């Protein structure tokens, strides 16, 4: 069976809502990444079998099979097919899983997988009132809102406000350190806007403190614990990976960042969607015969501090391998991009640390989880 590998992995900086990238369409966030992946590897467009690009809010500017538009606007051109993938917060993770499966099945040799979201231009809340009425027969529809799911996880699993704020502070501190020390440099592709070049993640708060975070109001429940400070940032950004078979990489003299291992998805109660990584990771371990402590590095998407802390405790991940460069609370969570941003950051860090086995996992709105394993070659 062919082995799927990653030969390059890049992302844009992530901009705050209505911030530095707000005037950049999603296609224009994506095209520079596709072109960079081709340029860095020397792969010609006629060697690329498919472009798989995730996006959660597929309407407006992000409609019209946006992946195909990206292909047409990029150096890929007319001859490369493209499909836009949706598994909500794991959309680009799903794109990567499909790319890996296509290689492993011997159906494809070269694919580009990733995703994008401009939450400034196509806002998340526009579908809030379009929930199917019959869902109310089974769920409290108000509890399906993302912030309310985080409050419920905190309530049911005794995650305190202080613990959430301390976790958020750690995310900013680690992301600031990663930025300042240049650990993100290999993965970042700058974005040119009318106002200048964006080269760093915009949302990292280097001056935040526990005192500042603890003073923020709750926004989902008057007596709650979830605040804008201990939740992921609404963001704009894109991430992408170039996936080939190991044989193709060897035949073409390409360096391999990581092998893509097994993967898993799972469903959970949508009113506590943040617990999704737990059954996804456990299912992955059952499939591979591994234990959670076999992983040397773990990236778990920081949708909310409450669910990050619950998942960390439940799965037994140590602090020193868990979101070591910060996460979405500091960097941001552009929905369709995050499932690829995690592997991008992970595989670069695995190579820096010579970490043999890595895991990227995330919760998914409306009650799912996804997990992918990566191995150093």
Of the residues 89, 285, 308, 311, which is catalytic?
A: 89
Marked catalytic residue, from 55, 285, 311, 363: 363
Q: How many residues does the chain have?
A: 377
Determine whether 55 is an active site residue: no
SS (H, E, C) 268-300: CCHHHHHHCHHHHHHHHHHHHCCCHHHCCEEEE
Give me 3's structure tokens.
């082995």
CB-based contacts of 41, cutoff 8 Å, min separation 6: 7, 8, 242, 254
> Is 363 considered catalytic here?
yes
Is 333 part of the annotated catalytic residue set?
yes
Query: Which candidate in 172, 263, 333, 348 is catalytic?
Result: 333
User: Active-site positions?
Assistant: 89, 333, 363
């Amino acid at each position: 069976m062919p082995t799927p590998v990653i030969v390059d992995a890049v992302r844009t900086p992530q901009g705050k809502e209505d911030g530095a990238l707000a005037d950049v369409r999603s296609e224009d966030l994506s095209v520079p990444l596709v072109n960079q992946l081709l340029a860095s590897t020397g792969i010609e467009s006629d060697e690329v079998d498919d472009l798989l690009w995730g996006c959660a809010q597929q309407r407006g500017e992000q409609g019209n099979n946006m992946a195909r538009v990206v292909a047409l606007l990029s150096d890929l051109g007319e001859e490369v097919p493209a499909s836009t993938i949706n598994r909500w917060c794991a959309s680009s993770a799903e794109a990567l899983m499909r790319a890996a499966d296509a290689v492993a099945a011997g159906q494809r040799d070269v694919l580009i997988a990733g995703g994008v979201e401009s939450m400034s231009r196509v806002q998340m809340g526009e579908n809030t009132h379009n929930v199917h009425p019959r869902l109310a027969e089974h769920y409290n529809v108000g509890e399906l809102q993302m912030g309310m799911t985080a409050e419920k996880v905190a309530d049911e699993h005794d995650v305190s406000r202080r613990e959430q704020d301390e976790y958020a502070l750690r995310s900013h501190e680690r992301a600031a350190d990663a930025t300042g020390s240049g650990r993100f440099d290999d993965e970042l592709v700058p974005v040119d806007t009318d106002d200048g070049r964006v080269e760093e993640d915009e949302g990292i708060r280097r001056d935040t403190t526990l005192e500042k975070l603890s003073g923020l109001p709750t926004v989902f429940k008057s007596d709650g614990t979830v605040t804008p400070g201990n939740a992921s940032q609404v963001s704009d950004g894109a991430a992408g990976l170039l996936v080939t078979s190991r044989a193709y990489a060897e035949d073409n003299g390409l360096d391999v960042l990581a092998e893509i291992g097994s993967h898993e998805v799972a469903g959970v109660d949508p009113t506590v969607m943040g617990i999704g990584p737990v059954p996804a990771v456990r299912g992955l371990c059952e499939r591979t015969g591994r234990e959670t402590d076999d992983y040397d590095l773990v990236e778990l998407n920081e949708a909310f501090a409450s669910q990050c802390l619950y998942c960390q405790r439940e799965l037994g991940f140590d602090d020193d391998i868990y979101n070591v460069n910060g996460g979405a609370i500091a960097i941001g969570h552009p929905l369709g991009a995050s499932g690829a941003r995690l592997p991008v950051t992970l595989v670069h860090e695995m190579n820096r640390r010579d970490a043999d086995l890595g895991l990227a996992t995330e919760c998914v709105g409306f009650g799912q989880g996804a997990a992918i394993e990566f191995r150093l070659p």
